[in-house]
Amino acid sequence: KSLNAISPSEYRREEISLAHKKLIWTIIEPLRQIQFLSFDAAAAFLQNTIDTASSRIDSGYEVELEIQFAVKYAMAGLRALAL
DSSP 37: S
Instruction: Give the chain's mean pLDDT.
Output: 81
Look at residue 13 and tell me whether its pLDDT is greater than 70.
yes
Task: Please give the pLDDT value at position 69.
Answer: 95
pLDDT in tens, 35-47: 888 878 888 888 8
Query: CB within 8 A of 69, min separation 6: which ones?
Result: 53
Rounded to an integer, the average pLDDT of 29-57 is 84
Global pTM value: 0.61
pLDDT in tens, 59-78: 999 999 999 999 899 889 88
